[in-house]
Structures are given as C-alpha cells and as structure tokens.
Chains A and B, each alone.
Chain A
Amino acid sequence: QKEVEQDPGPLSVPEGAIVSLNCTYSNSAFQYFMWYRQYSRKGPELLMYTYSSGNKEDGRFTAQVDKSSKYISLFIRDSQPSDSATYLCAMSAPGNEKLTFGTGTRLTIIP
C-alpha cells in the first residue's frame, strides 16, 4: 500500500464548477501538507501549503486537512480552463524534508 493515495482521474468538469480533489495517507507522522499544480511538460508548482489540521484559503483555492481521517482536500471554485492541469498532493513529516507525493489527478475544465 502506498503512503499517499490519490485518484488519478481523469476528471472533467464544466467551466465555473466547483472542483474537489482528494488524497488519503497512512503515515500519521505527516504534519506538512501541500498541493502542487503541474502543467504538461512543466515542473510542479506549489499552490497551497497547510500545517497540521484545518483550512486555508487563497483566492479560488481552499485546502483542507483532516488529520483524524488522514484525508486532505483541495477545492477550486469558479473553475477556469486555465486550471486544467495535473494536481499533486504532497506531504512530509517534521525533521524530514522529503516530500511524499500522490500520483496526481489530471483535471480538465471544459469551456
């Protein structure tokens, strides 16, 4: 079993919809949680960062962490065609700077 599980999709939604992306994990030591966006043939780009449990909002993006369920989510409101990309969750434990990534969810926003 992988430490981090992520539904690979693909996920297609119409423009303007709310998108929900999720990851589950098994390592209870993880405290730092991130979402990266990766466009085709580009490197991953840090989108959101959250420490421990709770919510964080940045514009149209909201990240949620539920440590009791070992479940993290990324919500995208008012989705745009430019949001079409692969979204990767990543996490790490204190004292260990290695990031463990999910396999990514490919998202397409249909105009």
Chain B
Amino acid sequence: DSGVTQTPKHLITATGQRVTLRCSPRSGDLSVYWYQQSLDQGLQFLIQYYNGEERAKGNILERFSAQQFPDLHSELNLSSLELGDSALYFCASSVGGGNYGYTFGSGTRLTVV
C-alpha cells in the first residue's frame, strides 16, 4: 500500500455522463497530481494542486476539472464523457517538491461505453 488512496478502482459509464474520481494523498503530503494513462499516450500530466491551490496545469481538457479540499483530498471531475476518455487515471502526492518523484495511488480504471 503506497499510502495514496484512490476510489473507485473501476468505473464503467456511458458516453455523455459525468463521473468524479477521488484521491486521498499520503499523510503529510501537500501536493496532489493527476495523470491519465492510456495505451497509446502513456502517462500524461493533467493537473497539480498544492495545499488547496492549483499550481500547474497540463493538457487537461475543458470537460475535466479538479479541486483540492481543505483536508487535502482531491477530486477529478470528468464530464460529457467520450469513448476516448477511457483510461487509467492516477493520483500521486508529494510532500512538496515533486522534482524528487512522487508516490502514486493504484489508479481508477475508467471505461466509457
């Protein structure tokens, strides 16, 4: 167990729907990162939060949004889902400087049908 908790582990939903993925970082970690992993694109950075504030944004679609709450857990909201959004979504956390690497959760596998 890495200490980063992601729920749910699996999600199957229809096109056009909206889902929320949840992440609890390791105790003491202030930064949360969201990544998408697909077979053809590999791991792609979506967004980073630090202590409740958005710190960096990657190639995150406008249909996707995230937030980090005062208790430091984070949620990734995906709306108007398309077949191409099917992927593994990982959350990771770090104490501060992510340049030294971060700890990943076990991911949420999203299937859009």
Contacts and interface: CB of A to CB of B under 8 A. Distances in A.
Interface of A: 31-32, 34, 36, 41-46, 49, 88, 90, 92, 94, 96-104
Contact of B56 (A36, A42, A97): A97
Nearest to B91: A43
B98 A97 contact: yes
Contact of B42 (A41, A42, A43, A104): A104
Interface stretch (B11-19, B70-78, B99-107): B99-107
B104 A43 contact: yes
A46 B3 CA distance: 13
Interface of B: 2, 4, 31, 33, 42-43, 45, 48, 55-56, 58, 90, 92, 94, 97-107
Contacts of A96: 56, 99
Given A101-B43, A102-B42, A43 B98 contact: no
A92 B99 CA distance: 6
B97 A97 contact: yes
Contact of B104 (A41, A45, A97): A45
Closest 5 CB pairs of A and B: A97-B98, A43-B104, A103-B42, A101-B43, A46-B101
Contacts of B2: 43, 45
Given A42-B106, A43-B105, A45-B2, A101 B97 contact: no
Contacts of B33: 97-99
A20 B15 CA distance: 42
Nearest to B45: A98
Contact of A49 (B31, B92, B101, B107): B101
29 contacts: A32-B99, A41-B106, A42-B107, A43-B4, A43-B90, A43-B92, A43-B104, A43-B106, A44-B43, A44-B90, A45-B2, A45-B104, A46-B102, A46-B103, A88-B43, A92-B98, A92-B99, A96-B99, A97-B33, A97-B56, A97-B97, A97-B99, A98-B33, A98-B58, A98-B98, A99-B45, A99-B98, A99-B101, A99-B102
